Each structure stands twice: as structure tokens, then as C-alpha cells.
Amino acid sequence: QIQLVQSGPELKKPGESVKISCKASGYTFTDYAMHWVKQAPGKGLKWMGWINTYTGKPTYADDFKGRFVFSLEASASTANLQISNLKNEDTATYFCARKADYWGQGVMVTVSS
């Protein structure tokens, strides 16, 4: 069955970096784009952008240009999200989602000094 399994929760300090992974199984990884979505505590969902899993080309929503990087380890059917220079407002749960259908379980990233 189709599954997206994300890495575990992260606790980071402001200014640090974090890398979140999303391992796909049950389908051909390169057939579907991978999207990333942010859900801050008590807030709604925000689309961060997507990565073409065939070409590796990322597309970022305006609010996520600069400190956010989508990448792939295609041989491992894994998509990654790296956030650098973490800020308090990056505290959120980050989801990967295969196109618009299957979602990962989410990764809670807490940024606190």
C-alpha cells in the first residue's frame, strides 16, 4: 500500500538547521510530485511548494523562498526538506504529500532557545 513515512520530531535552537525526510513506498517514486505543507500550532495549513521527483526541480511558494530547500534521494524514494537559519516562527508540523492524495504523518519541528 502507498505510504509516506516521515522522520521523527526535532528540537532546535534559533539559527540552527534541520533536515526532514519523507520516505515513499508502494508506488513508483518518480511518477508523482512531492509537495510540502506547513501547519503551525493553532494555525491553518500552508502550501510550501513542490519538487518534481523525476527532474529534481523544486518550486517554492513565495513565503518559503530562501531558507527552505527541497531535495531528493531518488534511489531511496525519499524527499527531503531542509530549513536553515531556523526562527521561532518555523515551529510547526511539516507534512509531505504525494501530489494531493497521500500524506505523511507529519514532523513536529520545535524551535526554541
Partner 1 sequence: DIQVTQSPSSLLASLGERVTITCQTSQSISNNLNWYQQKPGQAPMLLIYYATSLQTGMTSRFSGQYSGRSFTLTITSLEPEDIANYFCLQHYSAPWTFGGGTKLELK
Residues that bind partner 1 (CB under 8 A): 4, 35, 44-47, 49, 59, 61-62, 95, 97, 100-106
Closer of 1 and 75 to partner 1 (Cβ): 1
Closer of 29 and 50 to partner 1 (Cβ): 50
Q: What is the b/e burial string over 58-85, where b = at least 16 CB atoms within 10 angstroms of the residue's CB?
A: bebeeebeeebbbebeeeebbbbbebee
**Rg of the chain on CA atoms, in Å:** 13
What is the closest distance, in whole angstroms, from the C-beta atom of residue 65 to partner 1 in the complex? 12
Closer of 63 and 73 to partner 1 (Cβ): 63
